[in-house]
């Protein structure tokens, strides 16, 4: 049963990745493909495209053109550990990231976020970081790849979801990836039908660690922290664009992509370049690293065409969420356009390789 549930979880995850990387139609909207050139909206050292005479006709005033910025060193922060959780319907999120310089970045609900959920950051003291290292070492399970899951040992039919913890720890030989499954629901099965599951002790050890890392402020005392809590401020985002056919012949509701005055020197169909996942080119995909100023200009432009929410006001892009995907209709296509922004974390290189997966 656990294998069947895990297969369903992986299918959902593949669907999410497919939405991000699905193909652009051959007739790109807003004009034809263009040749590389420079653009102030693009990170130094990345590909850009020149203005196109077929750019969408704006229905709103243009936002200010973003100014150039100095790119930070790619992957300049060394990763100590990244821990992610997934339930049986998993949308990939960054989980908790702990860096060698003591910074901890994690996904949480917080009143300061406009929509309630985003990435928080806080730096540990040297002593607090040592406490974390000792907890990781105490498991004796994070130095090499491993998978620790309950094993079905009876024919009793059980059906339920479960939580998976995935740890990536930097070692001298590279990243070690360790995965386990929270044993709680399997313990419940055993309490009703003894001997249904054989649960490895490693699963209990790692799940206990995962629960602590998932909420680091509840785990570590106030004295372990060197600075106040604050929202994480990304140095870069990935912009991923997907154009697809209408679903069952129907265009999505909402604004038209041509109504947005995008802060680029070319239409979205010419922004960026295709990217790779596991070394394989995702054909007809488009992706581009962008600085925060460009992401903010996008949000402003989108807010001008989105309905105003009574509580939240203009619906610009949520740049504090790990990812934000917005769907648009494209009447001239006809097609639907998905525009996604994904936060890059400090240990990640500023590149579209791998689709920016955490």
Tell me the pLDDT tens digit for each residue of 67-119. 333 344 445 689 999 999 988 777 788 999 999 999 999 999 988 887 778 99
| Residue 225 and residue 107 in one domain | yes
| Residue 213 and residue 303 in one domain | no
| Residue 211 and residue 260 in one domain | no
pLDDT, average across residues 259-284: 83
pLDDT at position 134 is 97
* Per-chain mean pLDDT for the chain: 79
pLDDT at position 307 is 76
| Residue 165 and residue 217 in one domain | yes
| Residue 59 and residue 121 in one domain | no
pLDDT, average across residues 317-323: 91
| Token pair listed for 307 | 């309905």
pLDDT at position 101 is 96
For residues 82 and 96, the answer to whether their CB atoms sit within 8 Å is yes
Interatomic CA distance for residues 326 and 316, integer angstroms = 10
pLDDT at position 131 is 97
The parent domain of residue 296 ranges over 2-72+235-356
Q: How many domains in the chain?
A: 2
| Residue 96 and residue 227 in one domain | yes
Query: The tokens 């203005």 sit on which residue?
Result: 51
Boundary residue ending a domain (186, 202, 231): 231
| Residue 128 and residue 194 in one domain | yes
pLDDT in tens, 170-185: 998 899 999 999 999 9
Does position 5 have pLDDT exceeding 60, yes or no?
Answer: no
Boundary residue ending a domain (209, 231, 253): 231
Q: Which residue has the higher pLDDT, 266 or 202?
A: 202
Interatomic CA distance for residues 242 and 260, integer angstroms = 16
| Residue 194 and residue 85 in one domain | yes
pLDDT at position 221 is 97
| Residue 98 and residue 209 in one domain | yes
> Coil, strand, or helix at residue 69?
coil
Does position 204 have pLDDT exceeding 90, yes or no?
Answer: yes
Q: Nearest 5°: phi and psi at 304?
A: -70, -20
| Residue 221 and residue 258 in one domain | no
Assign 284 a pLDDT band (cuts: 50, 70, 90).
low
Assign 56 a pLDDT band (cuts: 50, 70, 90).
very low
| Residue 85 and residue 65 in one domain | no
| Token pair listed for 206 | 């790692």
| Residue 135 and residue 204 in one domain | yes
Boundary residue ending a domain (172, 199, 231): 231
Residue 26 burial by Cβ neighbours in a 10 Å radius (0-12, 13-18, 19+) = exposed
Contacting residues for 157 by C-beta, under 8 A, at least 6 apart: 1
Does position 24 have pLDDT exceeding 50, yes or no?
Answer: no
pLDDT in tens, 218-243: 999 999 999 999 999 999 999 998 88
Contacting residues for 41 by C-beta, under 8 A, at least 6 apart: 65, 66, 263, 264, 265, 290, 294, 297
Is the pTM here over 0.75, yes or no? yes
Instruction: Quote the strand ranges of the chain, DSSP E.
Output: 79-86, 96-99, 103-109, 117-123, 146-148, 151-152, 164-171, 174-181, 197-198, 230-231, 237-244, 276-277, 280-281, 286-290, 308-309, 313-314, 323-330, 335-343
């Amino acid at each position: 049963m656990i294998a069947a549930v895990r297969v369903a979880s992986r299918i959902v995850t593949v669907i999410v990745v497919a939405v991000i990387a699905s193909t652009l139609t051959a007739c790109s909207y807003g004009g034809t493909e263009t040749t590389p050139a420079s653009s102030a909206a693009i990170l130094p050292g990345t590909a850009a495209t020149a203005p196109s005479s077929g750019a969408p006709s704006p229905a709103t005033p243009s936002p200010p053109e973003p100014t150039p910025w100095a790119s930070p060193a790619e992957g300049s922060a060394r990763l100590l550990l990244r821990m992610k959780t997934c339930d049986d319907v998993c949308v990939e999120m960054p989980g908790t990231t702990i860096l060698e310089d003591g910074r901890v970045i994690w996904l949480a609900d917080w009143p300061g976020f406009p929509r309630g959920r985003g990435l928080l950051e806080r730096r540990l003291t040297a002593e607090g970081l040592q406490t974390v290292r000792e907890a990781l070492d105490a498991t004796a399970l994070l130095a090499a790849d491993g998978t620790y899951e309950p094993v079905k040992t009876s024919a009793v039919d059980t059906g339920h979801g479960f939580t998976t913890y995935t740890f990536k720890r930097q070692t001298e030989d590279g990243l070690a990836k360790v995965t386990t499954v929270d044993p709680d629901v399997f313990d419940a099965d055993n309490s009703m039908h003894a001997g249904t599951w054989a649960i490895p002790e490693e699963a209990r050890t790692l799940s206990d660690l995962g629960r602590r890392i998932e909420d680091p402020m509840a785990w570590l005392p106030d004295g372990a922290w060197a600075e106040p809590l604050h929202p994480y401020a990304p140095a870069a985002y990935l912009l991923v664009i997907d154009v697809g056919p209408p679903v069952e012949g129907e265009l999505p509701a909402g604004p038209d992509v041509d109504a947005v005055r995008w802060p680029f020197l070319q239409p979205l169909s010419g922004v960026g370049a295709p990217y790779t996942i596991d070394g394989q080119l995702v054909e007809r995909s488009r992706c581009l690293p962008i600085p925060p100023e460009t992401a903010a200009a996008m949000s402003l432009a989108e807010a001008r065409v989105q309905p105003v929410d009574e509580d939240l006001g203009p619906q610009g892009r949520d740049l504090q969420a790990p990812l934000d995907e917005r769907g648009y209709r494209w009447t001239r296509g006809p097609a639907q356009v998905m525009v996604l922004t994904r936060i890059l974390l400090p240990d990640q290189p500023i590149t579209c390789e791998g689709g920016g997966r955490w």
